[in-house]
Amino acid sequence: MTLTSGQKISEPVPGKMPRHVAIIMDGNGRWAAKRHLPRAAGHRQGVEAVRVIVRAAGDLGIEYLTLYGFSSENWKRPVEEVNDLMGLLRLFIRRDLAELHQNGVHVRVIGDRDHLDADIVAMIDEAEALTAQNDRLKLQIAFNYGGQNEIASAVRRVAREVKAGTLEPSAITPDTIAGFLDTAGIPDPDLIIRTSGEKRLSNFMIWQGAYSELVFSDALWPDFTPECLREAMEEYQRRSRRFGGLDASGQSGKV
């Protein structure tokens, strides 16, 4: 199958599949700098990569795809860049929502909406309502998302229940906290990919990623292709996930 961009989509990856793939889409600014273009041009090209990867994810058999689009720390950037990024979320929803819906994509936005412009919140609400019944690919966009804020907000909700007398402190388990996160009901990411060669989480899925496999790609996000995604999934398939136990051959690591 060929995309409108001319890029080939890979066939489904045989073998053990990650149900949930999450991507820290990094490197738009460097992509632009390499071409002596403004950072905004890198972000625009980054949206093109989002469109291609979302389409490819369904074809590769991924059930849940989460894309980190704007962190709670990205407000530290110049106001013009923040505005560009907000504008691109608007553009993405406006331009792609109907097609995503047609293709059975369920869209959900995670992160703090309180400080987003009212029109963006309305667009997010519309996208979520329109696609709520779709189940071919579950797409989470992490926007104004920060793992520490997400956990703090979950703890606030737990504290309120304790205060109201509806929850006993002794009954609080990891599942209680997980149930109050933005990702409640979504399986933890099996695979977290970060592009652009940076090797950190930058406050992404710090709770949910406790046992995620991490794959770092040197590709800058606008250059990340379905083939790069496929390679990351193949790397995932070579990993041995033990969750603190032993693997099938009784080993606790590579020997």
What b/e string do you get for 38-68 counting C-beta neighbours within 10 Å, with b at 16 or more?
ebbbbbbbbbebbbbbbbbbbebebbbbbbb
Catalytic residue among 28, 59, 74, 144: 74
Positive or negative torsion for Cα 141, 145, 147, 152: negative
Residue 68 interacts, among ligand IPE, Mg ion, none and using kind-specific CB cut-offs from 5 to 8 Å, with ligand IPE
93 scored as a contact of ligand IPE (CB under 6 A): no
Q: Which residue number, 106 or 194, has a Cβ lying nearer to Mg ion?
A: 194
Contact predicate 190/214, CB 8 Å = no
27 scored as a contact of ligand IPE (CB under 6 A): yes
154/151 Cα distance (integer angstroms): 5
74 scored as a contact of ligand IPE (CB under 6 A): yes
26 scored as a contact of Mg ion (CB under 5 A): yes
Q: Report the site for ligand IPE in 170-199 (rule: CB under 6 A).
A: 196, 198
82 scored as a contact of ligand IPE (CB under 6 A): no
Residue 134 interacts, among ligand IPE, Mg ion, none and using kind-specific CB cut-offs from 5 to 8 Å, with none
Q: Classify strands 137-145 and 64-71 as parallel, antiparallel or unpaired.
A: parallel
Other C-beta atoms lying within 10 Å of the C-beta of residue 198? 14
Q: Which of 18, 29, 58, 189 binds ligand IPE (CB under 6 A)?
A: 29
252/238 Cα distance (integer angstroms): 15
Stretch of 19-27, 142-150, 178-186, 210-218 contacting Mg ion, by CB under 5 A: 19-27
Binding residues for Mg ion, rule: CB under 5 A, are 26
- Catalytic amino acids? 26, 74
